[in-house]
């Protein structure tokens, strides 16, 4: 049972965690913190939080668990403002999509990565944002990756693990570097492809006709291009090396595919498409099995 949870950044992710913990009877009081007074008041109206403060230092006082759910570019500032305001029993974790930058921010703010800080990343979300988009089932049967470093207190890791398990998540651990490499391939790259495709088509002279006749496949593939531009700018800058490497590798694959199509090599195309379908079907079967039938 978390006696007092402070959520810094009461949007889709932070709001959903608060809702989920309430639904699981795993939290007592929830304090919200953020820049927008309107959003905080709305969160209180919805029952997502009990009280709020716009000052992170004030908001974390008395909390036994703090969840930071702000954009990557704002995490360093949060660390600076909570420094010196945490209780001895407080554990802090976050939801940032790039762990290398978060660990570097902690090092810059505290001089070392504090034992009470557990870097984390829930692999969940939608293209929507804001507390009105939050819902308690967001993390059910979803993976959460924790990336503790050498100085992280094992008890703090256990407490964060139990928090995520209480809302139905599957918790795994890996190194900071490995996390950023994996997410560059599985999350960050697909978003870049969606953003890049929509932007490229939008700049074509016939874009009105292109979008008018877009079928379901186009809408499904590009759905994530409706995500926050500011958030994804921060992710790109924070994970620049791993993501640029993945983009370069994918670019080579697309160039090879283009040449295969140009020379009308049907057999090679069948091999590519067959491998892709088999790999995705295997992945979907695994996800469905874990989710008890899928979404």
* Per-residue pLDDT tens over the stretch 147-197: 999 999 999 999 999 999 999 999 999 999 999 999 999 999 999 999 999
What Rg, from alpha-carbon coordinates, does the chain have? 21
> Would you tell me the crossing angle of helices 12-23 and 154-166 to the nearest 10 degrees?
80
In a shared domain, residues 197 and 151: no
Within-domain flag for 61: yes
pLDDT tens, residue by residue, 209-261: 888 888 888 888 899 999 889 889 999 999 999 999 999 999 999 999 999 99
Looking at 174, 198, 214, the residue that finishes a domain is: 174
Query: Quick check: 169 and 142 in contact, CB under 8 A?
Result: yes
Within-domain flag for 294: no
In a shared domain, residues 109 and 249: no
Rounded CA-CA distance 227/288 in Å is: 25
In a shared domain, residues 21 and 148: yes
Judged against a pLDDT cut of 70, whether residue 289 lies above it is answered with: no
Looking at 174, 193, 210, the residue that finishes a domain is: 174
In a shared domain, residues 149 and 188: no
pLDDT value of residue 206: 78
Token reading at 42? 């709305």
In a shared domain, residues 69 and 135: yes
Closest CA to 130 of 235, 226, 211, 256: 226
pLDDT value of residue 219: 87
> What is the three-class DSSP state of 246?
helix
pLDDT value of residue 263: 97
Task: Report how many domains make up the chain.
Answer: 2
Q: Calculate ∠ Cα 110-116-118, nearest 5°.
A: 100
Within-domain flag for 281: no
Within-domain flag for 269: no
Judged against a pLDDT cut of 80, whether residue 100 lies above it is answered with: yes
Q: What domain range includes position 57?
A: 2-174
Token reading at 7? 């959520």
pLDDT value of residue 293: 38
Task: Calculate mean pLDDT across residues 252-274.
Answer: 97
> What is the three-class DSSP state of 183?
helix
In a shared domain, residues 207 and 75: no
Q: What CATH number should be reported for the domain holding residue 231?
A: 1.10.3660.10
pLDDT value of residue 286: 66
Judged against a pLDDT cut of 80, whether residue 291 lies above it is answered with: no
Looking at 144, 174, 204, the residue that finishes a domain is: 174
Within-domain flag for 273: no
Query: Quick check: 184 and 193 in contact, CB under 8 A?
Result: no
pLDDT value of residue 248: 97
pLDDT value of residue 193: 96
Rounded CA-CA distance 147/99 in Å is: 7
Judged against a pLDDT cut of 70, whether residue 294 lies above it is answered with: no
In a shared domain, residues 16 and 80: yes
Within-domain flag for 70: yes
Query: Quick check: 69 and 17 in contact, CB under 8 A?
Result: yes
Q: What is the pLDDT of the chain when averaged over all its residues?
A: 93
Within-domain flag for 295: no
Identify any residues that bridge with 51 across adjacent strands, giving them in sequence order: 31
pLDDT value of residue 287: 58
């Amino acid at each position: 049972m978390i006696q007092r949870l402070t959520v810094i950044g009461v949007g889709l992710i932070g709001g959903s965690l608060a809702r989920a913990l309430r639904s699981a009877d795993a939290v007592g009081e929830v304090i919200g913190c953020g820049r927008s007074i309107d959003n905080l008041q709305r969160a209180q109206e919805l029952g997502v939080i009990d009280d709020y403060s716009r000052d992170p230092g004030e908001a974390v006082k008395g909390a036994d668990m703090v969840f930071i759910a702000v954009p990557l570019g704002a995490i360093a500032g949060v660390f600076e403002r909570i420094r010196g305001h945490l209780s001895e029993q407080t554990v802090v974790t976050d939801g940032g999509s790039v762990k290398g930058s978060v660990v570097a921010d902690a090092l810059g703010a505290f001089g070392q990565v504090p034992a009470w800080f557990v870097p984390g990343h829930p692999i969940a979300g939608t293209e929507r944002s804001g507390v009105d988009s939050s819902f308690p089932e967001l993390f059910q049967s979803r993976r959460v990756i924790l990336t503790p470093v050498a100085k992280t207190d094992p008890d703090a890791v256990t407490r964060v693990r139990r928090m995520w398990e209480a809302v139905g998540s599957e918790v795994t651990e890996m190194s900071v570097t490995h996390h950023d490499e994996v997410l560059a391939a599985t999350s960050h790259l697909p978003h870049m492809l969606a953003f890049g495709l929509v932007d490229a088509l939008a700049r074509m002279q016939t874009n009105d006709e292109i979008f008018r006749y877009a079928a379901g496949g186009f809408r499904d593939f590009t759905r994530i291009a409706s995500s926050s531009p500011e958030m994804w700018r921060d992710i790109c800058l924070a994970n620049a090396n791993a993501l640029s490497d993945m983009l370069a590798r994918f670019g080579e694959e697309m160039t090879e595919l283009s040449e295969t199509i140009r020379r009308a090599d049907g057999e090679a195309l069948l091999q590519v498409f067959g491998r892709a379908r088999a790999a995705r079907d295997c992945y979907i079967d695994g996800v469905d099995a874990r989710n008890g039938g899928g979404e």
